[in-house]
Amino acid sequence: MVTVAKKKCQCLQASVLLSWIAVTLNGCSSSTSDSENKPTSKRQFINVGTAPTGGAFFTVGSAICEVVNSHSGDLNWRVAAESTGGSMENIRLLSQGKIQFAMSNSSITYFAVRGTQGWEQAHEVRSVLTLFPNIAMFVTLADSGIQSIADLKGKRVYLGPEGAGFEYFVDP
């Protein structure tokens, strides 16, 4: 059960995160004089790879994009959350230059940077910020007879959308 204090803490963390992103993106603009401080006529589009619609990364990514768009001032940026297959696909899209930012699980990013655990090559990406700690929940019906992860052996298990990376956490 989530307490009121925990909810307030989560709201504060989200506010700090969104403020930090807005300030960081504002600081990424380059201008050296008042004449160069005028908004550029060409709009710059920035795509953020998230996850399938309805997933946590898509919801959080969409909210971040909304805040950045409303606080980008004269930067003439349009930041958009792109629905993707998840962490693994995001890293591939980022490496291919098809998106500019990627939301990814830290474990999956770790393996991608090293080119291990199924990654065909090392990907040159870097972590910009951490959103929240990763918590895995395994849920089953009460009358399924499954009491532990070991009881899943031989059972049909849905690991989430292909490319999201959930298979890393239940590798046999």
Q: What single DSSP character describes residue 96?
A: T
Is pLDDT at 169 greater than 80 in this prediction?
A: no
The CA-based dihedral angle spanning residues 37, 43, 49, 53, taken in that order and rounded to the nearest 10 degrees: 120
* Coil, helix or strand at residue 49: strand
Lowest mean pLDDT among 85-99, 120-134, 148-162: 148-162
Domain covering 16-23+41-169, topology: D-Maltodextrin-Binding Protein; domain 2 (3.40.190)
- Report whether 59 contacts 81 (CB < 8 A): no
| pLDDT score for 25 | 58
Q: What single DSSP character describes residue 87?
A: H
- For 51, counting Cβ atoms within 10 Å of its Cβ (0-12 exposed, 13-18 middle, 19+ buried), the class is buried
| pLDDT score for 95 | 96
Q: How many residues does the chain have?
A: 172
Q: What is the pLDDT of residues 123-140, one digit of tens each?
A: 999 988 888 777 777 788
> Residue ranges per domain, the chain?
16-23+41-169
The pTM score is: 0.66
- Report whether 79 contacts 48 (CB < 8 A): yes
